[in-house]
Amino acid sequence: MKRVTIKEVAKSAGVSTTTVSHVINNTRKVNEPTRQRVLDAMRDLNFQPNSVARGLRRGETKTIGLIVPDVANLFFAEISRQIENIGYQQGYSVILCNSDNNLEKQGEYINTLMSKLVDGVIFISAGDSSKELQRLSSSGIPVVVADREVPLSLADVVILDNETAGYTATRHLINLGHKHIGCITGPQSITPSMRRVDGYKRALADAGITFNPDYIISGNFQFSGGRQAMTNMLRLAPRPTAVFVLNDMMAIGAMTEVRRFGLRVPEDLSFVGFDDIEMATAVIPALTTLAQPIKEMGAVSIELLIRKMQRNSSEESNQRVVLQAELVVRESTQKVRDTHG
Ligand code: RIB
């Protein structure tokens, strides 16, 4: 369908294109009868102002780019919803980009957002992204990185204290008498996963429990990865009596595999997850987990970005905001049974 031009609106209203432009952009007072004729013509012709052209004139497009690694993961869905909600309330359109944990796709999306002249970007990286971030920040576009660590020189950072949260999760299982505690990790290169494993190891050391490297099995932060990792975990001898899984999507997959194997949760195996996505309470038994302040992380990220965009304060030193997770005890954990010792 051919796009209606500003010239056609001017002809229909019997005015100049300059007058039409002043009505669209409120850049000069136009007498009411003329203004109404222009508005009627725009309505009758279904004219849509060219927002990118207007953005070029104004130096802003009122759009924000949001790049996340996996929109199917409810953690990213919930944080994206919070960011979009607050951005919309503040008059910004949010362009959601799903990198699918793929660095090449992530780079292409960064090019797209730069070409669309977005006013700012919130970025949850799919892995080591310093090069991409360097490109973004040197373009002058304000950037806030959420959830995953990057050098502070490149952007504001809003993250969780993952090491302490990993410690708390593992300590909870130790306090229930578990000594054979497995750990299903996220992708190795992801900083939150590495920090949570650090906390897991520190809790074992503090309790005098020898760390068994065979008990660390890699996952991919997805349901399928949790099932696959648990299949391998069940083959270990002695079999763990408890498992700390580094996100809820994998924990739900792992518990599915345990039941398929003919074992019970928590009677035979206790589980602690991470994130506290809505699904954590929907599964049976409900999942004990480390609740991330997902809404707060989204809100702090978008508010930091809007402040940066509106003050255009790219020269201001970047901030690093560290949030805390909270242990939420549900039915997927219980005291170790005597037979395990
Ligand atoms: O569930 C996805 C995981 O990746 C979350 O734990 C979040 O912290 C992100 O790093």
Q: State the amino acid at position 48 in one-letter form.
A: Q
Could you tell me if 248 and 220 are in contact, meaning their C-beta atoms sit under 8 angstroms apart?
Answer: no
User: Rounded to whole angstroms, how far apart are CA atoms 328 and 274?
Assistant: 10
> Is the beta carbon of 220 within 6 A of some atom in ligand 1?
no
pLDDT (tens digit, 9 = 90+) per residue, 196-226?
Answer: 999 999 999 999 999 999 999 999 999 999 9
pLDDT > 60? residue 105: yes
Residue 6: predicted pLDDT: 87
Q: What is the mean pLDDT of the chain?
A: 92
Share of the chain above pLDDT 70, in %: 95
User: Rounded to whole angstroms, how far apart are CA atoms 126 and 69?
Assistant: 5
User: Rounded to whole angstroms, how far apart are CA atoms 52 and 47?
Assistant: 15
> Minimal CA–CA distance to 188: which of 228, 217, 230?
217
Angle at 271 between CA 190 and CA 262, to 5 degrees: 120
pLDDT (tens digit, 9 = 90+) per residue, 266-298?
Answer: 999 999 999 999 999 999 999 999 999 999 999
> Is the beta carbon of 223 within 6 A of some atom in ligand 1?
no
User: Rounded to whole angstroms, how far apart are CA atoms 281 and 287?
Assistant: 6
Token pair, residue 68, equals: 């996340």
- Residue of 75, 122, 200, 224 with the most ligand 1 atoms within 8 Å of its CB, for mutation: 75
Q: Measure 92 CA to ligand 1 centroid, in angstroms.
A: 26
Could you tell me if 214 and 236 are in contact, meaning their C-beta atoms sit under 8 angstroms apart?
Answer: yes
What is the number of other CB atoms lying within 10 angstroms of the CB of residue 208?
8
Global pTM reads 0.84
